[in-house]
Amino acid sequence: MDSERRPKGYLKWGEVKSILTDRVILVPGPPEEIAVVREVFRLFADERMVPEAIAARLNERGIRNEQGRPWSRFNIDDMVTNPKYIGTNVTHRTSFKLRTKLVRNSDS
C-alpha cells in the first residue's frame, strides 16, 4: 500500500517493497492454495501426521509447493512453524552489509 493506503500491487515470491513509506499487508492466496494450507494444518494438528507423510501425500497428488517444486518435510515443517500462517508478518530476521556475512537478528 502507498502512503494513502491504496493498494499498489502484489509482491511475487522473493520480491520486496521498494519505497520506505509503502506498507505490506498479508492477504490470503488463491482458493486452491488456501485449501492446501488448510489440509496441511489439519493433517499435522488433527491427524498428527509427520511432515514426511504430509509431503508424500501432496506429492502423490501432484500438488507443488509455492516455488513450483515437489514438497519435502522441510517445506511442511517451515509452513507449520511460520508465523505468517496465523496472520503475523515477520520481517528483518536476517541482515547483512556489503562484504560481510549474513547475520541472524535477535528475536527481541
Render pLDDT for 82-94 as a digit per residue (tens, 0 to 9).
888 877 777 777 7
pLDDT in tens, 44-77: 999 999 999 999 999 999 999 988 999 999 999 9
What is the SS3 assignment for 21? coil
pLDDT in tens, 21-45: 777 777 888 899 999 999 999 999 9
64 contacts: CB under 8 Å, gap ≥ 6 = 70, 71
Over its C-alpha atoms, the chain yields an Rg (Å, rounded) of 17
Q: Write out the three cell numbers for 23.
A: 506498507
Considering the entire predicted model, what is its pTM?
0.69
Domain-by-domain residue ranges, the chain? Answer: 31-104
